Amino acid sequence: MPSRYGTGELYGFDFCALSTPRIRELSSTPFTSQPCPFKAAAPGKAVPKRNKKGGVCSLRLLEQRADERVEGKAEPVITGVNRFLEGSLVVQWVSRWGLPAGDVEECFCRCE
């Protein structure tokens, strides 16, 4: 069956698990009104809202089955900056290459 990359997560939800009406609902919602599940909330404050248009947090290899349904065939490929910051993933990865973690965090915090 044909495979290609497509939306992996839409506003933090697994795209393949969403119903068509829910996809339409999320797609028509202003991105600044959606909470970002990948941004850390400051203690005592509301969950931060999105800062990127489109709502696509990641891409995923998708495959069309014989019954015309589509299913994800691999782990998501991160595209949203907040996903990179989740759990200090990018900080840990870049730190392995010799850049001090504090320098990496400072750089990414300025980019938000």
- Please give the helix or strand (H or E) that residue 111 lies within, else none: helix 101-111
- 51 or 66, which is more confident: 66
- Please give the helix or strand (H or E) that residue 18 lies within, else none: none
Q: What is the pLDDT of residue 22?
A: 94
pLDDT tens digit sequence for 19-28? 999 999 988 8
Residue 107 pLDDT > 60, yes or no? Answer: no
Full-model pTM: 0.67
Confidence of residue 80 (pLDDT cuts 50, 70, 90): confident
Look up tokens 């941004």; give the residue: 39
- 101 or 63, which is more confident: 63
